[in-house]
Amino acid sequence: MNAPITIAVILATVGVLLGGSVILTRFTSRIGIPIALGFIAVGMLAGSEGLGHINLDSYSLAFRAGVVALVLILFDGGLNTPLAVLRPVAAPSLTLATIGVVATAVIVGTFAHFGGGTAWPIGLLIGAVVSSTDAAAVFATLRGSGITLKQRVGRTLEAESGLNDPVAILLTISLTAFVLARDINNGQSVWLLPVFAILQIATGGTIGWLAGTLAGKLLIQVRLESAGLYPVLTLAIALAVFGVTTLIHGSGFMAVYIAGVVLAGTHQLPHRPAILRVHDAFGWLAQIGMFLVLGLLAIPTRLVGAALPGLGIAIVLTLIARPVAVALCLAPFRYSLRETLFISIVGLRGAVPVVLATIPVMAGVTGARHIFDVVFFVIVVNTLMPGTVVAWLARKFGVVGVAPPAAATTILVESNEPTRSSLRSYFIDRALPVCGVPLSDIPFPDGAAVTMIVRGSSLLVADGGTTLEAGDHVYVLASPEAESTVRLLFGRPEILE
């Protein structure tokens, strides 16, 4: 009889926490505080020593929820990083995601050993847990400031954050196994862990590529009754890819991310806007959920003992480990000094370290709860230090990109059947040859026409007498044969598939 009441209490609590966290983002973005800190604060207020008195002391539950959250986050990241975006920065991003992660972990571990008296394996384990970055935290802060980054810098940060999560996960698991093997005096096979890690990444990448390719063909060929079923199918694909890859000892996280990247590059993907919107919501839900869990698991009275080492590691991570690792990795790729400095400083931490910090606790590593508390401080300080000045740093280092303002109205076309023609929007800059020209005088190729014009907050009918003005957002429907000519007239589309 009490079951419905218990469920109602749980659902009401979850609803209040999620709703409060989402509403809080409006205020944090306005005053320049990173969104992640708001989520953590809500979790702590609701925690066992806060106003809510919610006692969440289950690291196993946090870990399981975290795995699901990472699958959603990585798949959404892949869907928003198609091959056309990833390819130009693949080499530097992959270098940052592999060598950069290892270098960051080693530098942090060295400081933890010599500066904090931590044993070598434990210090390296802490370094591995905090080694991955989260581009979503950077871009969320920048969007609140109304600026964008130069393409090369932004794409590097975005691609790195998607690729380095699986590497950081494998490194954390390997070091946890190493610590446990030392504890039981059976470290003979531990030195094979780097080989196994490489095999897992290769296996995950291969399966992810195949799965993404097959998934794209499946989505084009299948005929579902409702547009809402397509995101359900892509979610099922993500979960299955992770599960199958993990069962055959590959990196399920790498597979999920690569599958999303390949799927994002699939042409004529049906209901693409709906799929992206739903997975964007899943990604945000996962991020919010993990930061809330971090706040709920944090015990303020217990955190006191981890404050000093956590603060020291956070400072070293932000000002030494990350910059040194980025400088070494980007040196061969001719990034300017300003670009390198910006990428190194704004490597913010996201939800991944929260999940990774539960792995040593789950495995029974001695002092693992202290590691979790240290990681809590690292995430908070690392998010606060560069997170509050990301926009200022972007202007200071000259990496602000020139991007057209977003249209007040967005027009999306969804089709159950693959179509040859595509609808894309173009921003009318003063320098374009079509600016100030009536539509009737523009030499459109066969198979191309303007369908709608967004001017300010108004929608204009596209007739021959309409003159294009600077600041307009023009929607052009064009066949594949006409697209090259359309781009000569209107430049690059605002949203690339």
**Does residue 32 register a pLDDT over 60?**
no
More confident residue, 239 or 347: 239
Q: CA 162, CA 173: separation in Å to the nearest integer?
A: 18
Domain boundaries, the chain: 58-396, 422-490
Phi (first) and psi of residue 350, to 5 degrees: -115, -140
pLDDT tens, residue by residue, 122-161:
889 999 999 988 766 676 666 666 677 888 888 888 888 8
Q: Please state the φ and ψ torsions of residue 349, each to the nearest 5 degrees.
A: -95, 145
CATH for 58-396, options being 3.40.190.10, 1.20.1530.20, 3.90.1010.10, 3.40.50.800: 1.20.1530.20
Residue 312 · residue 376 · CB < 8 Å: no
Residue of 126, 64, 192 lying closest to 200 (CA atoms)? 192
Judged against a pLDDT cut of 50, whether residue 367 lies above it is answered with yes
446: confidence class by pLDDT, cuts 50, 70, 90: confident
C-alpha–C-alpha distance, residues 358 and 381, integer Å: 19
According to the model, what pLDDT value does residue 381 have? 83
Q: 245 pLDDT exceeds 90?
A: yes
- pLDDT at position 496: 47
The pLDDT, as a whole number, for residue 144 is 60
Locus of tokens 């950081």: 168
Question: Residue 193: its pLDDT value, please?
Answer: 61
Residues 69-88 have a mean pLDDT of 84
382: closest CA among 352, 411, 412, 417? Answer: 352
Would the pLDDT of 186 be above 60?
A: no
pLDDT of residue 422: 80
Q: Does the pLDDT value for residue 1 go beyond 60?
A: no
CATH assignment of 422-490?
3.30.70.1450
Per the document, the length of the chain is 497
pLDDT band, residue 497 (cuts 50/70/90): very low
pLDDT recorded at residue 323: 93
| Res. 65 pLDDT band, cuts 50 70 90 | confident
Question: pLDDT tier at 364 (50, 70, 90 boundaries)?
Answer: confident
State mean pLDDT over 473-477. 90
Q: Which of 154-168, 246-260, 335-349, 383-397 has the weakest average pLDDT?
A: 383-397
The pLDDT score that the predictor gives to residue 455 is: 87
Tokens linked to 258: 């690569």
Mean pLDDT computed over 60-67: 85
pLDDT in tens, 199-219: 888 899 999 999 999 999 999
Q: What is the pTM of this model?
A: 0.81
Looking at the chain, the whole-number percentage of residues with pLDDT higher than 70 is 88
Q: Which one is predicted more confidently, 195 or 256?
A: 256
